[in-house]
Amino acid sequence: MSNVIELKNVAKYYEMGEEIVKALDKINIKIKKGDFVAIMGPSGSGKSTGMNLIGSLDYSTKGEIYLEGENIEDLTESELAQIRGKKIGFIFQSFNLIPTLTALENVMLPMTFQGVEKEERVEKAKKLLKLVELEDRINHYPNQLSGGQQQRVAIARSLANDPEIILADEPTGNLDTKTGEIVIEFLEKLNKENKTIIIITHDPDLAKNHANIIYWLKDGTIEKVTQKIKNSWKVINS
């Protein structure tokens, strides 16, 4: 099975005065269609930088990043934005909903950037909000919704362009335990429908209970890779 995302010897360095900070250094990640992957690590391990690179939100300093076989380093920012918008749906810890837009309008927004006609945008956004059980909140603004409802709007928005990949950054971080479980159950449901799910987390229980592959980051490098095989975790690379 081919990789939908692959990072080959990828590094991301930042200049801090005369010092070079190695946020990530020579990491290799392969994510196949239908995987449920967790990128796991403590604060400062490089998770946020990794998310930006895995999600094609940033270019690497060294190495190669492939999105469905295409090297993103060969694309302009405009080309990358278009391909990313079609292939990856993003769910952020802070929801990142536009406060001046209703739930319906927030879900419609990604389709606007892809040139979808308004009538089709409205119809699909309504279907997606029904999917996340918010059909009675379509005209509510984010400040009129609970945290869990806002996250479900964010999930609906991530599905707007029917992406192959869902990338979720600490998707339960701002939610209570019960609401967080509902959100994760929904991601599992999408995974069973053959969507590729990638979660960025610092919570080992969340990773172990729901992912089938975990990349463990530490100090900008991959410490180990574990895979769930017959309900037990095996180190497949270190």
pLDDT at 1: 58
Least confident piece of the model among 74-83, 121-130, 209-218: 74-83
Alpha-carbon distance 87 to 153, whole Å?
19
- Encode pLDDT of 130-159 as tens digits: 989 999 999 999 999 999 899 999 999 999
- The proportion of the chain whose per-residue pLDDT surpasses 90, expressed as a percent, equals 65
Cα–Cα dist 141/105, whole Å: 9
CB of 207 within 8 A of CB of 214? yes
pTM for this predicted structure: 0.90
Side-chain half-sphere of 209: how many Cα atoms within 13 Å?
9
Q: Exposed (0-12), middle (13-18) or buried (19+): which is 157, by Cβ within 10 Å?
A: buried
Q: Which residue, chain included where needed, has tokens 């995987």?
A: 35
- Of 154, 158, 190, which Cα lies nearest the Cα of 172? 154
Whether 35 contacts 23, CB under 8 Å: no
Secondary structure letter of residue 170 according to DSSP? S
Give the span between the Cα atoms of 120 and 143, in whole angstroms. 26
Banded pLDDT at 175 (limits 50, 70, 90): confident
Using alpha carbons only, what angle is made at residue 130 by residues 153 and 172, rounded to the nearest 5 degrees?
A: 35
The domains of the chain, with CATH numbers, are 34-61+75-237 (3.40.50.300)
Q: What is the pLDDT of residues 52-92, one digit of tens each?
A: 999 988 899 999 999 988 899 888 888 888 888 889 999 98
